[in-house]
Amino acid sequence: MSAIRAALATRLKTIPVLTVHTQVPDNIHPPAAVIMPGFEGEPCVRFDSTMARGSDEFLFTVSVYVQASDDTSSQVELDAYLEGSGSRSIKQVLETDASLGGTADFVRVREARNYGPTEWGGSGGTRYVGVDFGIEITA
């Protein structure tokens, strides 16, 4: 799992100005992406997704946060990460190298959820606008 998480980070770091965290940090400096195992209550790993130890399926959440400066500019900035293509497209950046540098057989950005305002650091934390991407990897 660590190698896959590192490979995800390597791909995400190709997005200009995006700070990428492979572990949940105390603080973030947007625009930022945080990579976490699991997605929306689903298992982190499904073992033996193909016959007899052929491969496992890994699920990750990549949460992207931008500064909540004003309603329009924050959402325009976040929308660039949701595009199907382009220099900031999470989907394009991850799926362009479907092997994640040789650590995987397949990668798919399957969905985005929870678009909207959020806080980092608990109640009273800094406000951001964010979205969670569900990433499915077979390795």
Q: List, for residues 41-82, the tens digit of each pLDDT value.
A: 888 988 887 667 778 999 999 999 999 987 789 999 999 999
- pLDDT higher for 20 or 39? 20
Report residue 113 as tokens: 């959820």
Q: How much is the pLDDT for 123? A: 63
CB-CB contact of 126 with 119 (8 Å)? yes
**Residue entry with tokens 């394009």:** 92
pLDDT reading at 13 higher than 90 = yes
CB-CB contact of 75 with 109 (8 Å)? no
